[in-house]
Chains A and B, each alone.
Chain A
């Protein structure tokens, strides 16, 4: 099946700066997307989701942008904090997969003091 990928495997940002994590997906039929955060020794933690009928959604310090034209998804984290250091995964879902999520390989975010 098709898979979700990420442009950058690692990202280092200064504390207080904004972070942008990118994700490319290949299945144009995908209609639901989620960003997860995984800290060491823990399971993936839900951050924010977006449906294909939207192009932007905001949460607390996070914003997800969806560009269906180029099949691109991004996660923006405002005022990045040390606690944001983790691996971030994007996941896509479509009825083509029988409602099963396909995860990208992940991006490691390191917040520098």
Chain B
């Protein structure tokens, strides 16, 4: 068990809808990362937060947004969903991104858009 908790485990929704994915980092970790994993794209970095502030952005669509709250949990919001958004969404956390420490991943949320 990595200590990173993601909810829900599965999510099925229709095109055009909006969903929110939630992540609780490991105790003591200040940085949260979101990754998307699809069959043909591997693990793609979306966005990173550190202590409540956005730290870096990757290949995140404008329809997607995220935030990290004062208690350090994070939410990833996906709107105007398309079939191609179906994927596994992983959250990871680390102690401090400047210390070259490993990312610890949750077990993901599997999103299916129908």
Interface residues of A (CB under 8 A from B): 31-32, 34, 36, 41-46, 49, 51, 89, 91, 93, 97-106
Contacts and interface: CB of A to CB of B under 8 A. Distances in A.
Contacts of B42: 89, 103-106
A41 B107 contact: yes
B100 A44 contact: no
Contacts of B2: 43, 45-46
A102 B45 contact: yes
B58 interface: yes
Nearest to A51: B100
Interface residues of B, number: 23
Contacts of A91: 103
Contacts of A105: 42
Contacts of A34: 102-103
Interface string B92-111: 10000110101111111000
Residue among B35, B42, B48, B98 with max Cβ neighbours from chain A (10 Å) = B42
B102 to A, nearest CB: 5
A44 B105 contact: yes
A31 B104 CA distance: 19
A58 to B, nearest CB: 16
A112 B103 CA distance: 30
Contact of B90 (A41, A43, A102, A106): A43
B107 A42 contact: yes
B104 to A, nearest CB: 6
